[in-house]
Structure 1
Amino acid sequence: KLAELDKFRLEQKLSQAEDALLKAELELKDVLIGQGYTPDDFSKVPVETMKIAKVKSGYEQSKSQYELAKRETEHATLTAPFDGVVANLFSKPYNPANTSEVFCTILDTKGMEAEFTVLENELAFIKKGDKVTVIPYAGGSSFEGSVSEVNPLVDTNGMVKVKADVNGEGKLFSGMNVRVSVRRNLGEQLVIPKTAVVLRSGKQVVFTLKEGRAMWNYVHTGLENATEYVVSDKSRKGVEDGLLEGDTVIVTGNLNLAHEAEVNVR
């Protein structure tokens, strides 16, 4: 229970409506008995006759007023529809009720929803059920979730809205700014840090370490995330430029390296 109106007037109104309904029921019985029916025969009264009898006795009107009073009394108590945390509660005890304004907001901080946008050309990489990692800009832990909805509309900026259900563990706040990473399982791939890739004459090059020397390797990069590239695998048929599983890759100090230059490992 979140709040409750003063029920004195409502309870009195409900009591009066209940008395009026009982009187109307007696009047209805009197009307039916006056037409030759006994209390045991009320269930056999024709529909049209019963309808006229209810109008004469005022039964339908009394019943309607009773149900209205009962509903108003029940709705005088405001209850939370689910477990959560109360936010934006500014009313005080004994304040007049303002039915034109929201009383408060209930937040389910365990089942939060992250909303973010992706570029139109990245839409093919995202599908419902993909795993996501959410990291608040305010710092703290990361939280796991999954894509729950992809809005089928591209806006004027070429962006698509995506939503993900996130287990906030009670530590996330509504409206918080977060960084969202979407993960897809692509099977076994050769993956290297982005810092390992340098450009030489417009081509992508990765230096590997062999017997204390830097070895020049042309590569082709594929999918990427914020820190890593998927690179071509020379062990696969028809692939000439790339790396092999187990190669030692030079990831720093490689901007000015030359082929077979001596290097020191730190």
Structure 2
Amino acid sequence: MLSQQSGKALFPFLILVLLGLCVYLYLPKSAGQTQQGGMNATEVVAHSVSQDNRAVSVDAVGSARANQAINITSAQSDYVTAIYFKDGDSVAQGQQLVQLQDQQEKLQVAELSINLKEQRRQLERLNELAKSQSAAKSQLEEQRSKVDALQAQLDAARTKLQEMTITAPFAGVLGKRLVSVGAYVNTNTVLTTLDDLSIIKVDFQVPEKYLAQLKLGMKVTALSDAYANSLFTGELSHIDPRIDERTRSIAVTAKFKNKDNRLRPGMLLFTKLQLAEVTALMVPEKAIIPLQDKHFVYAIDANGKVERVQVKIQTRFNGWVAIAEGLHEGQQVITEGTLKLRVGSSVVVKG
């Protein structure tokens, strides 16, 4: 009776052993290992070393401003008789914007022109008399002084008449109209604003340690939250002659062509100043294994086995490392799975 009961008790155990053996033989190998040449090979992620260009750059935040920006005011005081623009108009240089009452100025110019004409006629008559009469020479000098004085008065009157017509000093985009016809304006009255948006300038700070590398014309790129998918490209246009003693940084300016007027004064821009461009063998930074003052990578040899290679780092970028010595183009370096490796291990690259 006991032997029959023992046999019944062992039967379920044997079934479980057989099932486990089937699972081991027929299901795929556990994650991270595979069969290769009769040996267990560890699955890893690798990167193929290639030569690439990377920019050495400085990131900063800058504020945009117009190439030129002014408040339009009047040089004379009088009443507005006409306005020739609307809010936000684009205007050309010299385009008429506002007309002030100018009847009195026109009359003054006309009167002085008539007087000057008469005084010149008198000057010509005295010139003829001075040729034969010595007494007329003193009168001639006096008459010349009168003509010169009238000419100066006429020039001043014409200038004042011109100032009664207010024009755009440069091409740009106007702001809001701040006056109306019939309003009395003086030299302190702002009529509107004018901004030259054809070029946008961005001011930002660069740490003092980069001063020796700064040169006019260097490439600058900028991003704006308003245009998340657009990269604006410009160049360094100004380097301040002074260094800020508090921040130990130097103020610089970049200029950007703004043909479509997407950039506006006052914008916050994220700038990147390109100091240099490096061409070298690039590997992901996570492939580098630091050991004391040296650096290594795990590379895969022709037989699919791991070898540890010492490398010399040229410079670091955002997530990438330029290698000066130790690797060659096309070589595969392991980026993931290095913790479970040792030199001579067989590996298989995922994908």
TM-score of Structure 1 vs Structure 2, range by shorter chain: 0.7 to 0.9
Superposed displacement of residue 131, structure 1? 1.7
Q: Is the 8 A contact 2:221 2:272 kept in 1?
A: yes
Aligned to 2:144: 54
Distance 1:130 1:96 in 2: 49
Aligned to 2:117: 25
Q: Is the 8 A contact 1:120 1:159 kept in 2?
A: yes
Aligned to 1:188: 279
Superposed displacement of residue 51, structure 1? 4.4
Q: More strand by proportion, 1 or 2? A: 2
How has the CA–CA distance of structure 1 residues 17 and 73 changed in structure 2, closer, same or farther, with 3 Å as cutoff? closer
Distance 1:255 1:80 in 2: 68
Q: Percent identity?
A: 21
Task: Identify the range of structure 1 (127-136 vs 13-22) with the bigger mean alpha-carbon deviation.
Answer: 13-22
Superposed displacement of residue 2, structure 1? 5.7
Distance 1:83 1:166 in 2: 17
TM-score (structure 2 length as normaliser): 0.58
Q: Is the 8 A contact 2:108 2:157 kept in 1?
A: no
TM-score (structure 1 length as normaliser): 0.73
Q: Is the 8 A contact 1:32 1:53 kept in 2?
A: no
Distance 1:106 1:217 in 2: 63
Q: Is the 8 A contact 1:150 1:160 kept in 2?
A: yes
Counterparts of 1:32-47 in structure 2, within 5 Å, are 33=125, 35=126, 37=128
Q: Is the 8 A contact 2:220 2:272 kept in 1?
A: yes
Q: Is the 8 A contact 1:86 1:105 kept in 2?
A: yes
Superposed displacement of residue 49, structure 1? 6.1
Superposed displacement of residue 111, structure 1? 1.8
Counterparts of 1:154-233 in structure 2, within 5 Å, are 154-156=243-245, 157-169=247-259, 170-184=261-275, 186=277, 188-201=279-292, 203-210=294-301, 215-232=307-324
Aligned to 2:328: 244
Deviation track 1:37-72 (CA, whole Å, cap 9, x = no partner) reads 26999xxx98x86542134x4x33432232222212
How has the CA–CA distance of structure 1 residues 126 and 207 changed in structure 2, closer, same or farther, with 3 Å as cutoff? farther
| SS at 2:128 equivalent | coil
How has the CA–CA distance of structure 1 residues 193 and 132 changed in structure 2, closer, same or farther, with 3 Å as cutoff? farther
How has the CA–CA distance of structure 1 residues 66 and 115 changed in structure 2, closer, same or farther, with 3 Å as cutoff? same
How has the CA–CA distance of structure 1 residues 209 and 129 changed in structure 2, closer, same or farther, with 3 Å as cutoff? farther
Counterparts of 1:69-80 in structure 2, within 5 Å, are 69-80=157-168
Aligned to 1:153: 242
Superposed displacement of residue 213, structure 1? 5.6
Counterparts of 1:8-23 in structure 2, within 5 Å, are 10-23=102-115
Distance 1:195 1:76 in 2: 71
How has the CA–CA distance of structure 1 residues 99 and 249 changed in structure 2, closer, same or farther, with 3 Å as cutoff? farther
**Match status 1:118 vs 2:202:** no
Superposed displacement of residue 173, structure 1? 1.0
Q: Which amino acid aligns with 1:26?
A: E
Q: Is the 8 A contact 2:100 2:165 kept in 1?
A: no
Q: Is the 8 A contact 2:178 2:190 kept in 1?
A: no
How has the CA–CA distance of structure 1 residues 124 and 27 changed in structure 2, closer, same or farther, with 3 Å as cutoff? closer
Q: Is the 8 A contact 2:219 2:235 kept in 1?
A: yes
Distance 1:40 1:3 in 2: 53
How has the CA–CA distance of structure 1 residues 202 and 166 changed in structure 2, closer, same or farther, with 3 Å as cutoff? same
Superposed displacement of residue 75, structure 1? 2.6
Deviation track 1:130-150 (CA, whole Å, cap 9, x = no partner) reads 222221243241111122222
Superposed displacement of residue 165, structure 1? 2.0
How has the CA–CA distance of structure 1 residues 17 and 167 changed in structure 2, closer, same or farther, with 3 Å as cutoff? closer
| SS at 2:234 equivalent | strand
Q: Which runs of 5+ in 1 are unaligned?
A: 235-241
How has the CA–CA distance of structure 1 residues 12 and 172 changed in structure 2, closer, same or farther, with 3 Å as cutoff? same
Distance 1:124 1:98 in 2: 50
**Match status 1:6 vs 2:95:** no
| SS at 2:202 equivalent | strand
Distance 1:257 1:62 in 2: 100
